[in-house]
Structure 1
Amino acid sequence: MPHNSARACMALLLAAPLLAGCLERGQSTMVNAAGDDDDAFCRASSKVGSPEYVACRKDRDVQRSNANARADRQQRDLGEYMLNNPVHP
């Protein structure tokens, strides 16, 4: 029995760094790449609840969505390139 638990512990230690990379992909919905808060950015130019504030938040959401789509597309393109152009040692 101790041999199996040591083997399971070793497998967990080897898999942990691989699984940790999955946690880094997610991005906060309230903070952009520069670290600015969308709410604070839009409050600086208009009052909360005003049409200008709502438009500012919508614009920021669209910009973030486009940036995420662009990053996902680049990642997919890289994967396809690597599949179609394997390097043989």
Structure 2
Amino acid sequence: MRRYFARAHIALILLAPLLVGCLERRTAPLADAAGDDDAFCRANNVQQGSPEYVACRKDRDVQRQQAEARADRRQRNLGEYMLNNPVRP
């Protein structure tokens, strides 16, 4: 009984780092996206506060949201593929 208990704890300790990696999936992909967007729009000679600047920032937001949606869709498709096509050694 004691040997089984020890094996369960060892297995849990070995699996814990793998599970922690799954929890960090939804971290922000860009640490300072606002600064990057501002630099991008200013590099295109758009003055801050102008309607063109607002449109530039909105376009950057839309592009980021679409990229995140594509990444989420790819992850979901990969998970479904792995469930539907298991590898049996």
For residues 17-56 of structure 1, the aligned pairs below 5 Å read: 18-20=19-21, 22-23=23-24, 25-26=26-27, 27-28=29-30, 30-31=32-33, 37-45=36-44, 46-56=46-56
Q: CA deviation at 1:71?
A: 0.5
Q: Compute the TM-score of the two structures, normalised by the length of structure 2.
A: 0.69
Equivalenced residue count is: 78
Aligned to 2:62: 62
Query: 1 or 2, which has the higher helix percentage?
Result: 2
The 1:64/1:79 distance shift into structure 2, 3 A limit, reads same
Q: Describe the SS at the equivalent of 1:49.
A: coil
1:23: Cα distance to partner?
A: 2.9
- RMSD over equivalenced CA pairs, Å: 2.7
Other structure's SS at 1:47 match: coil
Q: 1:55 to 1:29 in 2, by over 3 A?
A: farther
Q: 1: distance between equivalents of 2:25 and 2:72?
A: 14
SS in 1 for 2:49: coil
Which residue type is aligned with residue 71 of structure 1?
Answer: A
Structure-1-length-normalised TM-score: 0.69
Q: Structure 1 stretches (4+) deviating beyond 4 angstroms?
A: 11-14
Task: Could you tell me which runs of 5 or more consecutive residues in structure 2 were left unpaired when the two chains were aligned.
Answer: 1-8
Q: Please, which runs of 5 or more residues in structure 1 have no aligned partner? A: 1-7
- % identical equivalent positions: 63
Greater relative contact order, per chain length (Cα 8 Å cut-off, separation 6+): 2
How far has the Cα of 1:14 moved from its partner? 5.4
